[in-house]
Structure 1
């Protein structure tokens, strides 16, 4: 059985062919040919043809049909010209739509430079998906304590990847890099302002007064939610950037 998409595509394809036939199609030639025939056929021949049609009809019917006197054939010329113009206009419109469709479907994909590929590989080496930074973004509960050193890869990205030398030639790839950098920078900035050192590299986002309890002010919940949302957003943008780059460079 056909699915809904196949039925929809079939109706669309055959509908387009019926509404916009190719000028090489016999039906199109028949329409234009009829117009040319009306223009070129002299009135006496038209009279002979019409009389033949009426005589044929009278032979096979009880009544007797007659044909009114022909009026000046200027109306026939206009009608023939309209048919020809309509046929040609129809074909031109068809050619236009085919051209636009071909332009869209055959639009060349953006060419990525070898320099972009090298830069992307450098990014993966310095900020890999199996790093402790990415693991924290994906899984850490920011209401608990954490080791700040686990975010070193992310901090290195924020520190070093906002320079001209780290920009991609590809506009789309560069836009994704900038978006990732902005959200990572925002996350680390808010984390540094809202974290309290416990000992060594260990930190917590819960103030000393409330640590160890679940009874803390609302502003602490707001801060934890903001950090959690930024961590999720950083991970999603990281994943989008890496998947897009790997797809383009096939790496």
Structure 2
């Protein structure tokens, strides 16, 4: 069912299109021109045209048709007005169909927006900007040890957000979600590969055996730089994802 606002909007558009038809519509233009031509053409000229049409029909069909059988001149005006009326009705009907399509597209877009908005709110519960994982990505130097629990938000996102139920309907939103998930997945594996538990119960990219050394081996420096670099990339992409979502969904 349509709302009162939609009905009112259609009535206004209906009236405008009836009073001011779109004559760029070829069908409307041709039919209105034909109707106006029938009404405005002088009777002598019309008689010449009618005689030519009758002669052509008689010549091709063999049936004898006379001008008297064509009816009175009054019928010409009725025919002209009828053609103009039909053209205007066609114009209004075509606009009504376009209006219905617009309504359906708007309703469909609103439904898609509602589904994606609900999913985005669910994402913010899993991996918001104020989470421990986001703070770790933004501020931590992985040359220092860290608590594994600080990765819980990232791990939860990686574990649970790679399925159809967590896919956005809007293709642009879904594309950036996939990009963020892939980056988080790589970061999780990089941390798992490059870090190990410390004697203090924390996690560190720098092994305990070289932690107190003045100069770390080059491979340790390379590991720390690699993890720091990817952490920054994940954080920037995470913030861009949230900003893009808010701008697109208006929430």
Preserved CA contact (<8 Å) 1:148 1:201 = no
2:162 matched to which residue of 1?
Answer: 162
Q: Give ranges in structure 2 of 5+ residues lacking alignment.
A: 1-104
Preserved CA contact (<8 Å) 2:197 2:203 = yes
Take 2:199 and 2:209, find their aligned partners in 1: how far apart are those partners? 16
Take 1:214 and 1:182, find their aligned partners in 2: how far apart are those partners? 36
Preserved CA contact (<8 Å) 1:149 1:201 = no
Write the mapping of 1:142-153 to structure 2, written as runs, cut at 5 A.
142-153=142-153
| Structure 1 residue 122 corresponds to structure 2 residue 111 | no
Take 2:114 and 2:162, find their aligned partners in 1: how far apart are those partners? 20
Preserved CA contact (<8 Å) 1:154 1:184 = yes
More helix by share: 2
1:67 matched to which residue of 2?
Answer: none
* Residues 201 and 128 of structure 1, relative CA distance in 2, 3 Å threshold: farther
1:56 matched to which residue of 2?
Answer: none
Preserved CA contact (<8 Å) 2:131 2:153 = yes
Write the mapping of 1:219-238 to structure 2, written as runs, cut at 5 A.
219-238=219-238
Give deviations 1:187-231, integer Å, cap 9, x for gaps. 110101111101575111112221122311111111111111110
Take 1:119 and 1:201, find their aligned partners in 2: how far apart are those partners? 36
TM-score normalised according to structure 2 size? 0.54
Take 1:146 and 1:183, find their aligned partners in 2: how far apart are those partners? 20
Shift in Å, 1:113: 2.7
Q: Give ranges in structure 1 of 5+ residues lacking alignment.
A: 1-107
Give deviations 1:120-156, integer Å, cap 9, x for gaps. 1100111111001000000000000100101101110
Take 1:124 and 1:168, find their aligned partners in 2: how far apart are those partners? 14
1:210 matched to which residue of 2?
Answer: 210
Take 1:215 and 1:200, find their aligned partners in 2: how far apart are those partners? 22
Take 2:223 and 2:200, find their aligned partners in 1: how far apart are those partners? 23
SS of equivalent residue, structure 1 residue 145: coil
Give deviations 1:70-97, integer Å, cap 9, x for gaps. xxxxxxxxxxxxxxxxxxxxxxxxxxxx
TM-score normalised according to structure 1 size? 0.54
Shift in Å, 1:114: 1.2
| Structure 1 residue 250 corresponds to structure 2 residue 250 | yes
